[in-house]
Structure 1
Amino acid sequence: MAPRIRPFDFAHLDRQTMGDRALEEEVLTLFIHQAGSIAEQIRQAHRRERLRLAHSLKGAARGVGAFAIADCLAELEQRPDDASLVERLQRLVDQAAEFVASVTR
């Protein structure tokens, strides 16, 4: 079994939230909600809309330290018709959501 990798850079998130743990939890929860919604929209969107959505979520992902998601979205901006990237994005968002759920219980 591969080691479980944290989907967020918590050092980055700590700097963004100035160490406020309650704010970190709120930011992560909001991000997961946004990422889940946008990932679903990306799956169904046409090329132009997919590019816009990918760009928008990429910035949010970088802001919270979800760099694997941001990197996937950057690739999707380069290859918006690549279905494997859309699938990878969904897996990464699902993993991030599971992680957030496990640390906010």
Structure 2
Amino acid sequence: MIAHEAESFGSHTPDSSENARDMPLDLNHLRRYTLGDEALEAEVLGLFLAQLPETIASLRSAATERDWKIAAHALKGSSRAVGAWRIATLAQEAEALACGAEPEACSEAISRLEAAASEASDFVKEAAHRA
């Protein structure tokens, strides 16, 4: 299923390939952690994609700097775990923002995260259809 799609992207490590970082998801990264178990890959990606809108909503509704930082940090970690490098980078940038002082920057960060999340979701759907 999705694991076989990863083969077409070559062997990537998070640090060694700009191509992997340009993809919405580095499926080879995920594959290393799931040991090629297609059902597990699908389950992990499904959980990640289901949680994305909730975490982004937590950013949008963050009442304090602490709430913002917790949500951004959680998103950064979960994105790195599945190889969603673009989302992880955007979450890291969001985590560094001070929303009380930079509300426009925080709003823009959410917009960029939503776009990247949509792209990742579309990528997974397309990969599943090709498998």
TM range (shorter): 0.7 to 0.9
- Which segments of 5 or more consecutive residues in structure 1 lack a partner in the other structure? none
SS of alignment partner, residue 36 of structure 2: coil
Q: Pairwise CA RMSD of aligned residues?
A: 1.4
Number of aligned residues: 101
Q: Distance in 2 between matches of 1:57 and 1:64?
A: 11
SS of alignment partner, residue 104 of structure 1: helix
1:50 to 52, 68, 89: 68
Amino acid in structure 2 at the alignment position of 1:51? K
Q: Distance in 1 between matches of 2:86 and 2:117?
A: 10
Specify the structure having the higher radius of gyration (Cα).
Answer: 2
CA apart distance, 1:48: 1.8
User: Partner of 2:88 in structure 1?
Assistant: 70
CA apart distance, 1:84: 1.1
Kindly provide the CA deviation profile for residues 22-70 of structure 1, in whole angstroms up to 9, marking residues without a partner as x. Answer: 1111110100011111112211212221110110121111000001000
- Which segments of 5 or more consecutive residues in structure 2 lack a partner in the other structure? 1-21, 100-104
Amino acid in structure 2 at the alignment position of 1:68? R
The alignment-based identity, stated in percent, is 38
TM-score normalised according to structure 2 size: 0.71
User: Partner of 2:24 in structure 1?
Assistant: 7
Q: Distance in 2 between matches of 1:33 and 1:97?
A: 9
Q: Runs ≥4 in structure 1, deviation > 3 angstroms? A: none
Higher relative contact order (CA 8 A, sep 6+): 1
